[in-house]
Structure 1
Amino acid sequence: MAGSGVDLVVSGGRIWCGRDAGFVEALAVAGDRVIAAGGRHEVEPLAGAATRRIDLAGRLAIPAFNEAHMHLLPYGLGLSHVNLRAEEVRTLDEVLRRIGAAAKAAPKGAWVLGRGYDHGALDVGRHPTAAELDRVAPDNPVAIRRTCGHMLVANTAAMRLAGVGHNTPDPEGGVIERKGGTLTGLFQERAMRLILDHVPVPDEARMVDGIRAACDDLASRGFASATDMNVGMIAGMAEIPAYRRALSEGALSLRMWQVLAGNPEGIAQAAWEQGLRPMDGDERLRWGAVKVFADGSAGGLTAAFFDPYLESAGGGTGVFCFPTETMHHLLALYHRQGWQLDIHAIGDAAIEQVLSGMEAADTPEHPVPGRRHRIEHCGFLNAGQRRRMKARGILPVPQPVFMYEFGDLYVTNLGRERAEAAYPMRTWIEEGHEPSASSDAPVSTVDPFVNLFSMLTRKTNKGTVLGPDETITMEQALHAYTYAGAYSQFAEATRGTLAPGMLADIAVISADLFSLSPEEVLTARADLTIRGGEVIFDRHGEVAAAAAQ
């Protein structure tokens, strides 16, 4: 093969090919595949005059990251919303200042949308109120979503548009907060639809722009694969042709695993009736799963637990989105249709509701083992539940970065002991599970290096170490962020490692992660991202510069 058919050679630094393959000195790529991985003396002779070269110059190459659980379209659209995330916004005054500035810049009557505030991180230690939003945006409907995405605060103009008054009943699986008989503006879980259903739906062109923006952002961070976990919850069925258009126009630069919204207000049944079937599509855009929500978030006191939240945090045991009979019916329906089940459950009571439903759906005609059903988040579970998941091959799909961003709030809401046991990455790995790593963006930062830091240290962003016995190694963390994500999408035979024959999805990292301290990992960046041999991000323009020489 020397001199013929080799399009790209990567060398000059360590190349981590995967947990079981270890390191090599060089890779050769032909077309969209890795064709050789080994020592430089083995790979370099394969190059020809037209072969492109990437000199790592001491940097590290790895299989490109796979974002196994995020909301890609909402993330892309949200890049134009008011940013209220805790790393930038720590005071109520700053929340109101940003919303007020956006309202002044918007036409009268136009919606002002914000995302990412964390009431636990604000100086006042509570949610903003409708009255406070009214003061800074009296002429515009406003809706701001908490970082978890499971609750929002609306102002009076938004509630008036939605027809919500003090006598409006709580919908099933949702809560409209009232204090002293007065609406505070806080809507939790399925009650959010009362407001969100009145936010203008983006048209197809706007959705394509959002998909492009999200893909560009993720590619700049080393991702070549991602997920949209709840397709249909912004624009309904229109999101399906928007994704197909994005692919045809080159706006969809990542490989996508698509998960249809399966709650009754979602699109899963309509998509089925229109002929969409499990595993339709290809490596670039695959429709594979259905999502149903079982509960909310531990930070927002809506994850469903057997034992109550601390009284000092408000008490209660959280919110079930559906009665058990309804949940089990939905799981059985989508299981029989052949979809992978990607079911949101955070608290142990919600996990029990979901797990028992998956077990009930396991019949000789429609067995669960081999289907790789997933419990998304799966943050607070017990040993018996882990054993039952393992017995049927049900995958945990956690977000280790939650410990970094929300760990201190877990302590406040649940106590130290329960917070220490949350998202048990090492335990899952040692028990033989295949936990993937993901961010749930825009809930948490999509920055993979923050997630890696969390897995390595179990440190919160305030420096609290929670569950140090659940830390894992860099090799284990990268495996969770590459191979395990591919495994959860039935794609481990083609991506997730850099063995010969695999797709050439490669990320070049600014430094050798295996040689850095955890704190230094936070400063690492992706310099290059390659999908199937094609460069989709080049921070320094090095590939173009090399080609011009």
Structure 2
Amino acid sequence: MRLMHPRVLIGCLAAAALAGCHTLAQQPAPLAAASALPSGAAQVIYLGGDIVTLNDAQPSAQALAIRDGKILAVGPQAEIEKNHQAAHTQVVNLGGKTLMPSFIDAHSHYINALSVAHQAKLYAPPAGPGQDVPSIIAALQRFALERKIAPGEMIMGYGYDDTVMPQGRLLNRDDLDRAFPNHPVRVDHVSMHGTVLNTLAQKFYGIGADTQTPDGGIIVRKPGTNEPYGLIMETAFLPIFEKAAPLTPQQEIEGTKAAHQMYAQAGITTAQEGATHLSALQTIYRAAAAGANSIDVVAYPFITDLQNTLTQFPVASWGQYQQRVKIGGVKITIDGSPQGRTAAFTTPYLTGGPGGEKDWKGQLIASQAVINQALKQVYDLNVPVLFHVNGDAAIDSLLAAHEFAAAPDLGKPRNVTAIHAQFARKDQIRQFVQYNIRPSFYTLHTYYFAQAHINNRGKAQAMYISPMRDAIDAGLRPTNHTDAVVAPLDQMFMLWSAVNRISRDGVPIGPDQRITALEGLKAMTLWAAEQHGEQATKGSLEPGKLADLVILDNNPLTVDPMAIKDIRVIQTLKEGQIIYQAP
């Protein structure tokens, strides 16, 4: 017989002899149907650990009660037991673990999670094996061998980070040709804004020496020739990105279930699909209709596909969940990535452009006039909008477009989010406040790409990336995100990066922009719920809100800040049902 820890045993006995009591380590019995319980009785009560509510009016509690997928009550244990415990109420003793609202994804590319299970992971260490070109080739070869990929079939990888390649020795077409003469190979850049193709893949995508570089695009050519040789980025990458092989119905279902487990394992119960083309949106809805969804998905159609999307999904249907999917608004992209040197700045990169361009400042994806009209179209639809902006020139462009499209009431709440906003200047933060624009920062760059930013932009500008401290102090409620699959889904590591701002080399990156763990958690829960317009139902532990919960093995508010990244997700619950259980 396995003995129960005394503290847990006492908690269970105190709960009530009649109630079903178990610990997280035990398999719970199915919840009693709410209809079988007296009015006001809970199906399950949690107690015996730290309960972090993220509700300023009641920051912590001893117990939490759930009924019909919603939070019934939060408060003192004795009060919860007296008012909400019945004979068939399950009582779960947390055993000292921490219960809090589940995480809400402020920005990622959910649709990619459906396919990356069939791609080689090539992140730089510690997230993956891609420390140099030979390591990348070796990882691709292992992947092809393990998957038994036949000659002629495409081999795909993701997460290639050119900023950490030793001595600037970058992956090119010839490297891939030598290793894979009989396979088309596509290796996507870590920014998700570009790719490297071998010769067979170039033929597959119809790209060659006669392919013109489009406005807003980058095609790195082999020296002395017009042959595409390295990265193909931004608008030049879009035709490649859009030419994805369609999934079979079974692959859609299997990929969706696998993707939802990826998010749930990170404690996330609401995921964002942050730049959705119509075909991807149809895939998401088909999988949902097949019953594959275990978490909520909020999709933001891409501005270039907006008219096609509206023909299939009229705006009247937006903002409402159907089988755990809703369309949340529109995504507009203005520039590229700073690590890929395609973000738009007002001053030149210190290292030139990705194709060797001199006095390179990056560039906007489109003209200011086009961006102005795109935003005016979205404002006229009266739906939320996400703006991809990285460099300060791109942020200037967003502000100018807002002044054009929002006149004469520039401060009216319109639910506008500046995604990334990494190189926002102090004056731009003041304008965010004035124009009611929410920044969604990307503090993981302080770890993963800090040295690249120092090299490309200089130390002063690199130290001010993702200025969450100044944004919060200015009165904003910013969110924080992983941009997965650009960076791995790891909410505790993301929180750690916002609180500590330490690079992969162990160097502090803008320590004056550090935030508290409490602020960091709000940026991942309550403030992210506000971004999706769901603050009435998600983001904090309050009666009437959904029982979307995560149980952690330690409390982010009380551990040493440097230990936050080591906290593990034990359980994730969607509307009171366990959807992830740690092994």
Would the TM-score normalized by the shorter structure come out above 0.5?
yes
- 2:337 corresponds in structure 1 to 297
Is 1:276 the equivalent of 2:321? Answer: no
- Paired residue secondary structure (2:566): coil
1:68 and 1:531 map into 2 onto residues whose CA distance is: 17
Question: Counterpart of 1:120 in 2: which secondary structure?
Answer: helix
Q: Which residue of 2 aligns with 1:516?
A: 559
Q: Contact between 1:143 and 1:155, CA under 8 Å: does it hold in 2?
A: yes
Secondary structure of the structure 1 residue equivalent to 2:315: coil
* Contact 1:86/1:121 (<8 A) preserved: yes
Matching residue of 1:33: 70
Structure 1 pair 129/466, CA: closer, same or farther in 2 (3 Å)?
Answer: same
AA at the equivalent of 1:491: E
The structural deviation recorded for 1:34 is 1.0
Q: CA deviation at 1:122?
A: 2.6
Higher mean C-alpha deviation, range 273-282 or range 123-132: 273-282
Structure 1 residue 529: Cα displacement: 0.9
SS of 2:301's equivalent in the other structure is: strand
Match of 1:14 among 40, 43, 50: 50
Give 1:196 shift.
3.6
Give the alignment's TM-score, normalised by structure 2. Answer: 0.87
1:79 aligned partner, one-letter code = A
Q: Could you tell me which amino acid in structure 1 is paired with residue 233 of structure 2?
A: Q
Shift of 1:197: 4.5
Give the match for residue 322 of structure 1.
366
Q: How does 1:36-185 map to 2 (within 5 A)?
A: 36-45=73-82, 46-87=84-125, 88-89=128-129, 90-104=131-145, 105-178=148-221, 179-181=223-225, 182-185=227-230
Point out the structure with max Rg over C-alpha.
Answer: 2
- Cα deviation code 1:440-496 (max 9, x no counterpart): 000012101110110110111221111101111111110111001100011111110
- CA displacement at 1:392 relative to structure 2: 2.2
SS of 1:465's equivalent? coil
Q: Distance in 2 between matches of 1:270 and 1:535?
A: 37
Taking structure 1 as the reference length, what is the TM-score of the superposition? 0.93
Report the alpha carbon displacement of residue 292 of structure 1 after superposing the two structures with TM.
Answer: 1.6
Q: Which segments of 5 or more consecutive residues in structure 2 lack a partner in the other structure?
A: 1-36
- 3-state SS of paired residue (2:454): helix
Deviation at 1:363, TM superposition (A): 3.7
8 Å Cα contact 1:204-1:238 kept in structure 2: no
Asked if residue 479 in structure 1 is aligned to residue 522 in structure 2, the reply is: yes
Q: Which residue of the partner structure matches residue 60 of structure 2? A: 23
CA contact (8 A) 1:92 1:124 kept: no
Offset, 1:79: 2.3
Deviations 1:329-351 (A, max 9, x none): 11111221222111111000011
Residue number in structure 2 paired with 1:241: 282
Whole-angstrom CA distance in 2 between matches of 1:525 and 1:246: 29
Q: Are residue 339 (structure 1) and residue 376 (structure 2) matched?
A: no
Residue 288 of structure 1 is matched in structure 2 by 328
Matched, 1:206 2:244: no
Assess if the C-alpha contact under 8 Å between 1:436 and 1:480 holds in 2: yes
1:124 and 1:408 mapped to 2: Cα distance? 14
Measured at CA, do residues 368 and 276 of structure 1 come closer, stay the same or move farther in structure 2, by a change above 3 Å?
farther
C-alpha deviation, 1:19, in angstroms:
4.9
Whether 2:240 is the aligned partner of 1:195: answer yes
Query: Which stretch shows the higher mean deviation, 291-300 or 395-404?
Result: 395-404
Are the equivalent residues in 1 in contact too, given 2:402–2:410 (CA < 8 A)? no
Q: How does 1:402-441 map to 2 (within 5 A)?
A: 402-441=445-484
Task: Give, in whole Å, the separation in 2 of the partners of 1:319 and 1:75.
Answer: 29
Aligned equivalents of 1:209, 1:268: Cα separation in 2: 28
1:151 Cα shift?
Answer: 1.7
Q: CA deviation at 1:275?
A: 4.0
Aligned to 1:546: none
**SS across alignment from 1:459:** coil
Q: Contact (CA 8 Å) 2:281, 2:299: kept in 1 or not?
A: no
Q: Which amino acid aligns with 1:26?
A: A
Structure 1 unaligned spans of 5+: 541-549
Q: 1:368 to 1:270 in 2, by over 3 A?
A: farther
Structure 1 letter corresponding to 2:100? I
Q: Distance between the aligned counterparts of 2:298 and 2:181, measured in 1?
A: 41
CA change 1:198–1:538 in 2 (3 A) is: closer
Q: 2 CA distance for matches of 1:257 and 1:311?
A: 38
Q: Matched residues in 2 for 1:147 and 1:30: separation?
A: 43
Match 1:401 to one of 423, 430, 444: 444
Are positions 1:218 and 2:255 aligned together?
no
- C-alpha distance in 2 between matches for 1:275 and 1:475: 38
* Most deviating of 299-308 and 198-207: 198-207
| Aligned twin of 2:41 | 5
For residues 353-364 of structure 1, what are the structure 2 equivalents within 5 Å? Answer: 353-363=397-407
In structure 2, do the counterparts of structure 1 residues 483 and 345 end up closer, same or farther at CA, with 3 Å as the change threshold? same
How big is each residue's C-alpha offset from its partner over 1:108-127, in whole Å with a ceiling of 9 and x where there is no partner? 21111110011122334343
CA contact (8 A) 2:446 2:497 kept: yes
Shift of 1:280: 4.1
Q: State the SS of the aligned residue for 1:157.
A: helix
Q: Which moved more, 1:334-343 or 1:23-32?
A: 334-343
The CA distance in 2 between the partners of 1:273 and 1:501, in whole Å, is 36
Quick check: 1-10 or 514-523, which moved more?
1-10
- Mapped to 1, the partners of 2:340 and 2:292 lie a distance apart of 35
CA distance in 1, matches of 2:40, 2:383: 43
Question: How many pairs align?
Answer: 532
CA, structure 1 residues 127+328, in 2 after alignment: closer, same or farther (shift >3 Å)?
farther
Match of 2:296 in 1: 255
**How far apart, in 2, do the equivalents of 1:227 and 1:395 lie?**
16
Q: Which has the higher contact order (CA 8 A, sep 6+)?
A: 1
Residues 38 and 197 of structure 1, relative CA distance in 2, 3 Å threshold: closer
- Secondary structure, in 3 states, of the residue corresponding to 1:514? coil
CA 204–305 in structure 1, closer or farther in 2 if over 3 Å, else same: farther
Q: CA deviation at 1:359?
A: 1.9
Q: Contact 1:66–1:486 at 8 Å: present in 2 too?
A: yes
Quick check: 1:27–1:36 contact (8 Å CA) kept in 2?
yes
1:431, distance to aligned residue in structure 2 (A): 0.6
Contact 2:330 2:385 in 1 (8 A): yes
Using a 3 Å threshold, how does the CA distance of structure 1 residues 205 and 231 change in structure 2: closer, same or farther?
A: farther
CA 1:114 to 1:539, structure 2 compared with 1: closer, same or farther past 3 Å?
A: same
Once the two structures are superposed, what CA deviation does each residue of 1:59-78 show, in whole Å capped at 9, x if it has no partner? Answer: 11111011110011112311
Q: 2:66 & 2:330 partners in 1: Cα distance? A: 35
Deviations 1:148-184 (A, max 9, x none): 1112101111112233222321012111111222431
CA distance in 2, matches of 1:492, 1:320: 33
